[in-house]
Structure 1
C-alpha cells in the first residue's frame, strides 16, 4: 500500500521541470517587482525634490529682479506666470496666496492626456509617498505679503513608471511562456528517446535479446543505448552458452544412462543369467557342487566390483562417509594408477571436511573436471592442487606445467563452462589463466 501511494505521488519529469520554471518566474517577478518599485520610489522622490528646488530658484531669481526694478505686485505675478522656464517644470502645482486670501495659480500641470490611463491606486500608493507642500513668504515692491505655495504632483512620473512596469512584466511573461514552449519542445524529443529506451528494456525483460536500440542524436541517450545494446549482446551470448551447456549436459546424461544400461545388460544381466544356470545345474544329483559354488562366488565378486564402479561414477560414497579430503586422495590415487607418468600433489587443510555437502560435491566435480582436461589436453607431468579456507573464503587452485592454450579458444569449451557454472552457483568466482608452453592455472574463490 505504501509503495502504491509512493508511486502515485511521483510526478513526470515534464511536470517537475515546468513547475520549477513557473516557480522561478514567480520569484523573478516578485524580486524584479520589488526592485522596480524601490527604484521607482527613489527616482520619483529625486525628481520631485529636483523640481521643487528648481522652482524655488526660479521664483527667487524673479523676485530679486522684481525688487530691483521696483515693479508692483500685479506686474511681478504676471511676469512670474508667463515665465517659460517655470512652466516647463514638471510634477508641481505652484500658487501665490495674498493676504486677502486670494489664490493665484501659476503652474498646474499633470502632463496627462485625456485618453491616458491613470495608474491603479495600489500602484500609486506603492511608488508614491507623502509630499508636503512648501510655503515661501515674500514682500512685494508695494509692501504686500505674498505666500508662495509649491505642492508636488508626481502623477505624470508615476504614470511613466507604471507604463515601464507593465512593459517589464509583459516581457517577463512572454519570456516565461517562451521558456515553457522551448522546454516542452526539447522534452518532447527527449521523452520520445526515453520511451524508446524504456520500450527496449521491457523487450529485454521479456527475454527478447535480439532487440537493438537505434542511434540517438543526443550524446547521453546514445551512450545509454550503446550500453544497453552491449548488455543485450552479452545476455544473448550468455543465453546461447547456457543453451549449449544445457544441451551438452543433457547429451552427457543420455550417454551416462546409455552406458549404465549397457553395463547393467552386459555385466549384471549376463552374470545373473550365469548364476541362474549354475543354480539349476547344481540341482542335478551328478553335478559338481563345489566347482559350481566357486564359480558363483567368483561371479558375485565380479558383480560387486561392477556395482561399486557404477556407484562411484554416480556418486562417490567415500565423499559422504569420509569427507572431501579423503575423496580427493582416493580420486588422485586412481588417476595416478591410470596415468603413471603424471605426478599429482594435493595440499588440503583439515577444515575442508567441515564444508556443507552441497559445496563438497561441487568442489569434487570441479577438481575431477580439471584432471580430466589435464590428462586429455595438457600433456603435463606435474599437477598441484591446493584447497584451503582463509578469512571465511574457500580457495581452490589447480596448476599444471602442460603445454597451455589460447584463452580465446578455451572459452568455448564445455568443461570450463561447467566448472564456472558450479562455482557461480555457490556464489563464487572462477579465473583461468594460461599461456602456450607455460601451463594453466585455475583459481576459484567461494564465500563460506
Structure 2
C-alpha cells in the first residue's frame, strides 16, 4: 500500500472514530434529556390531575368532568391522558391513547436505543363505593425521538460531507507534498538510463530541499565525471586506433615485402636445386616456402584485426558493402539486406572504425550463433547523430549473454567511448536487434 493510501486510511479511521464517538455521546445526552423531560412532564400532569380529581365528588356529570380533566393535560408537552373502564377499554380520550402508540419517525434500532423506560400514572376513579375506571397519564417520547433522529441525520450528512472534504484536502496536500519524491524517482530513473543531465526542482516540502540539493550536486558530479570518462575513453580509442593503423602500415609496408622477397629468393634457390639435382635442398626449400606462406596468412589476419584495410581503400560506405557482399557469397542461405544513407565517409577515423567493427561483430554473431535466415543492416547519418541498426530473426539472446558476452561488451565500450549509447532488443527465440546511437559532435 502506498504512503498516500496509508495516510488517508489513518485519517479516515480517526475521523470515523471521532464521528461515532460524537454520535455516541450525542445519543447518551439525548436519552438522559428525554428521560428527564418525560419525568418532568409526567409529574406536572400528575400534579394537575391530583388537584382536579377532588372536583369529581361535586360533579353531577362524571363523564363531562373527566373529559374536562383529560382536556386539561391535552396540551401538556409529551403527555397523553385518557380514561378507561375497569376492563381496560378506553372511554374518554381514545384518540390520545391511540396516538401514544404511534411510532416515532425513526428506525426501530434507534427507537430501541433512545426510548426511556415508560413513565405512567394511573388513578382509580371512584364515587362513593362505586369504581368507574382508571384515569391514565403516560409520557410520550416519540416527538423527542424523532427530533433526535433528525439531528442525527443532519450530523451524519455533515459528518460524511466533512469526511470527504477533509480526505480530498489531505489527498491534495499529500500529492503536492510528495510530488518532489516522484520527480526524484523519475530523475533517478533517468540517471539509471545514463541520462546525467537529470535535475530536480528545489521546491515543495522544506524537509526535502536538502535531498534535492544533494541529488542535483550528485547528478552534476556524475555528469562531469562521465564527460571526462568519455573524453578520456575517446582519446584512448583514438590513440589505440592510431597505433593500430601505424602498426598495420608497418606490417604491410615492411614485413609483407620482406616475406615476398623471401618467397622470390626461395623460388630461385628451388630452381637451382632442381637444375643441379639437389633433392635435399629442394625439400628444405619447400618446407621454408610453406612456413613463409603461413606467416603471410598470419600477417594478413593480423592486419585485418588491427585495421580493416578496405576502410582506408574504399571508405566506410563501400567497406560495409564489401563486407556484406562477402557474407552473402559465403552464407547464401541467409537473406542479407542493407541500407546506408547520409555522408558516412566524412566521419572521423575513430567513428568509422567503431561503426565498421560494430557491424562486423553483429554480422559475425548472426552467422555463428543466431541461426538467422534474414539479416538487415542500417546505417544512417542524421544532423546530430549516427544511427546503426542490425536486426536478425534468429534465436535471440538471454540476459546472461547480453551482460557477459565478450563481443557485446567490446561493442558497448567502443560506443560508450564516443559518448554514444547501445541497446539490445531481444527475446529468446524471437531474434535480436542491436541499436547504436553515436553523436556526430564526438568526432571533434
Shorter-chain TM-score range: 0.3 to 0.5
Q: Bigger relative contact order, structure 1 or 2, given CA contacts below 8 A and separation 6+?
A: 2
